[in-house]
């Protein structure tokens, strides 16, 4: 396919989906945002590998700066894998995490820049500033992977599952256990499953209203 044909095809895809949908309906907005809750207690119901792939196959399309996609995910399904995580969890997070069907370690790869020619072929030289300065690479990687982590939570909800995000763990311990001699570092954890209502201990907490935190200038 020539460059012109590829561009025409890309624009046709946008026209096509716009002709099919222009916004999410109320139920979809509830599923992703308004009624979805953070879960930490789980139904005894498995999550399949196919569902994990379905989640990732949505997440990968959400945008990152220069298309860098630095998030790396380690899915813990087996009891052995979860046992390796256990010593790193803060006390209140242990039981709920060990009982989750799957726990994802959402990490970020500080050597993401090596793939610039692949993921951003229009400006592969952008790799240089990351290669030359590991602080720049780390800051960028953490920022972009955190964005992807937020997309991840929404993708879990989009495929009909529940998520339980967790920052209450010892990052150094997880890095040592799972990412020793690797450029990947842990960001946050996300349990995945069918949330059990016993884990919901109260109503939705306060959210800021538009006028409290937004300015239009
Ligand atoms: C990145 C992140 C880290 C979190 N860490 C924890 C945690 O360590 N332990 C916990 O019980 N909840 C944790 N939460 C859950 C939040 O406390 C919860 O999403 C928030 O209170 C809003 O609750 P709601 O989503 O049910 O409205 C975390 C959420 C996110 C997004």
Give the pLDDT confidence of 17-45 residue by residue, as tens digits.
999 999 999 999 999 999 999 999 999 99
Whole-number pLDDT of residue 92: 87
Q: In which band, very low, low, confident or very high, does the pLDDT at 217 lie, cut at 50, 70 and 90?
A: very high
Please say if the pLDDT value at position 51 is more than 90: yes
Q: In which band, very low, low, confident or very high, does the pLDDT at 12 lie, cut at 50, 70 and 90?
A: very high
Q: 40 CB under 6 A from ligand 1?
A: yes
Nearest to 105 by CA among 185, 27, 25: 185
Q: Ligand 1 center to residue 67 CA distance, Å? A: 27
- For residues 204 and 37, what is the distance between their CA atoms, to the nearest angstrom? 8
Q: Ligand 1 center to residue 38 CA distance, Å? A: 6
| Residue 108: partners with Cβ closer than 8 Å, 6 or more residues away | 70, 71, 72, 141, 142, 144, 145, 146, 184, 185, 187
Q: Ligand 1 center to residue 40 CA distance, Å? A: 9
Q: 168 CB under 6 A from ligand 1?
A: yes
For all residues of the chain together, what is the average pLDDT?
Answer: 97
- For residues 5 and 7, what is the distance between their CA atoms, to the nearest angstrom? 5
pLDDT, tens only, 105-145: 999 999 999 999 999 999 999 999 999 999 999 999 999 99
Q: 37 CB under 6 A from ligand 1?
A: yes
Counting residues of the chain whose pLDDT is more than 90, the rounded percentage is 99
Whole-number pLDDT of residue 141: 98
CB atoms within 10 A of CB 59: 22
Question: Ligand 1 pocket: which of 30, 32, 35, 38 to mutate (most atoms <8 Å of CB)?
Answer: 38
Q: 146 CB under 6 A from ligand 1?
A: no
Whole-number pLDDT of residue 94: 93
Q: Ligand 1 center to residue 211 CA distance, Å? A: 24
pLDDT, tens only, 173-215: 999 999 999 999 999 999 999 999 999 999 999 999 999 999 9
Counting residues of the chain whose pLDDT is more than 70, the rounded percentage is 100
| Burial degree of 208 (CB within 10 A; 0-12, 13-18, 19+) | exposed
Q: 204 CB under 6 A from ligand 1?
A: yes
User: Rounded to two decimals, what is the model's pTM?
Assistant: 0.97
């Amino acid at each position: 396919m020539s460059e012109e044909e590829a561009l025409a095809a890309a624009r046709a895809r946008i026209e096509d989906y716009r002709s099919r949908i222009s916004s999410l309906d109320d139920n979809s907005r509830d599923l992703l945002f308004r009624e979805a809750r953070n879960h930490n207690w789980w139904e005894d119901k498995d999550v399949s590998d196919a569902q994990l792939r379905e989640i990732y196959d949505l997440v990968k399309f959400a945008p990152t700066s220069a298309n860098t996609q630095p998030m790396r995910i380690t899915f813990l399904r087996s009891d052995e894998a979860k046992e390796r995580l256990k010593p790193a969890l803060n006390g209140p997070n242990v039981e709920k995490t060990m009982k989750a069907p799957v726990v994802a370690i959402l990490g970020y790869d500080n050597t993401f820049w090596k793939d610039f020619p692949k993921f951003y072929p229009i400006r592969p030289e952008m790799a240089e500033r990351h290669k030359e300065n590991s602080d720049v690479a780390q800051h960028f990687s953490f920022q972009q992977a955190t964005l992807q982590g937020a997309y991840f939570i929404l993708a879990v909800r989009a495929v009909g599952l529940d998520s339980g995000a967790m920052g209450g763990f010892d990052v150094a311990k997880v890095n040592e256990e799972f990412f020793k001699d690797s450029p990947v570092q842990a960001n946050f954890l996300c349990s995945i499953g069918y949330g059990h209502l016993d884990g919901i201990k109260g109503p939705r907490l306060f959210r800021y209203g538009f006028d409290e935190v937004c300015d239009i200038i």
